[in-house]
Amino acid sequence: MRGVASPRLARRASAWRRDLAARLRHAEARWSLVLEGPLATGETAARTFAVRRADGAAAVLKLAPPGQALEAEATALAAFAGRGAARLLAADLPAGALLIERLSPGTALRHLAARDDDAATLAAAGVMAALRRPPPPGAVLAEAAGWVRALDRALEAPGPLPRPMLARAARLMRELAAGAPPPVLLHGDLHAGNILRDGAAGWRAVDPKGLIGDPAFEAAAFLRDPPGPAARAARRVALLAEATGLPRERIAAWGYAGAALAAAWAVEDGSDPARWCAAAEAMAPALA
């Protein structure tokens, strides 16, 4: 999920992309890498490449605009230390470069979810449990509950989103924050596309946002993507609660609020929020 990019940040990202070839050559030389080719990219400015290290080990090179988002990702990966997530091998934050362990075969969990959603949900729960740990000492990371500001912006401005959904989600987020347990380090975007198969190690995460907050927040991204029928959403909540030991009601509330947040960010980004509104609607019965 993303917030609004200012014109200044948009210009910086555009300039960064123009220099991508030079940045790639710099990283190859710095870490003695052999480039194998680009990997699939999402909607962000970041670009990833399959590479080999000098010893022949497979790795992923991630190039992204330097700044707080990349620093938070590097902090999270370093703190996870390979337990539940791909390992951070090296970082050059001023250059916007991360060298990350390549997971093999790297098949996304969403492929399992398409044929056995219960199994995928339990796999996601296992990753959530493996990642759970206290925030790293001294780390400066955003608080997940602070994302309520996106809902406030949506409520204050005219737009296509249902006002009752936004108001309910904002209220839930504030209630969740008020009664939150001690915060943990969060991946922050643990949907089924960011959980990959890794041989005997099972499933591990990639592309963390790097946040701190309520442990139950970690379920939100998985619950909303892809949206499904209400019965499926309720079963996912029940399975996640049983497997992680987290309160069912907090998982459900974060699932609803997270879907509404995704809808608000979609509108800010100029994309269609329909799928996220559908996810919130499917989550609503689980709040009862």
Q: Where are the domains of the chain?
A: 7-102, 106-287
Distance CA 85, CA 198 (A): 10
Please give the distance of CA 9 from its chain centroid, rounded to a whole number: 21
- Does this chain's domain 7-102 share its CATH topology with 106-287? no
Check if the beta carbon of residue 227 is closer than 8 Å to that of residue 279. Answer: yes
Sheet containing 203-205: which strands, arranged edge to edge?
A: 105-108, 195-198, 203-205
CA dist 265 → 1, 9, 33, 139, 272 (Å): 7, 17, 36, 26, 10
Tokens of 74: 């590097």
Go through the chain and tell me how many residues it has: 288
CA dist 208 → 184, 189, 243 (Å): 14, 6, 21
Residue type, 54: A
Distance CA 175, CA 102 (A): 39
Residue ranges in the chain whose pLDDT is less than 70: 1-13, 42-43, 227
Q: Which residues pair with 157 in a beta bridge?
A: none
> What pLDDT is attached to residue 6?
47
> What pLDDT is attached to residue 16?
72
> What pLDDT is attached to residue 141?
95
Q: For 69-191, where are the E strands, in sequence order?
A: 88-92, 97-101, 105-108, 142-143, 184-186
> What pLDDT is attached to residue 200?
78
Check if the beta carbon of residue 179 is closer than 8 Å to that of residue 253. Answer: no
Lookup result for tokens 């959530």: 128
Query: Which of 229, 265, 235, 277 has its CA nearest to residue 154?
Result: 265
Fold assignment, 7-102: Phosphorylase Kinase; domain 1 (3.30.200)
Distance CA 235, CA 226 (A): 14
Homologous superfamily of the 106-287 domain (CATH): Aminoglycoside phosphotransferase (APH), C-terminal lobe (3.90.1200.10)
Tokens of 225: 């993507």
> What pLDDT is attached to residue 9?
54
> What pLDDT is attached to residue 204?
98
pTM: 0.93
Q: Which residues pair with 97 in a beta bridge?
A: 63, 92
Cis upstream peptide for 105 (omega within 30°): yes
3-class secondary structure, 26: helix
Q: How many CB atoms lie within 10 A of CB 196?
A: 22
* Long-range contacts from 63-66, C-beta under 8 angstroms, 24+ separation: 63/20, 63/23, 63/24, 63/27, 63/96, 63/97, 64/96, 64/98, 65/12, 65/13, 65/16, 65/96, 66/93, 66/94, 66/95, 66/96
Distance CA 227, CA 195 (A): 17
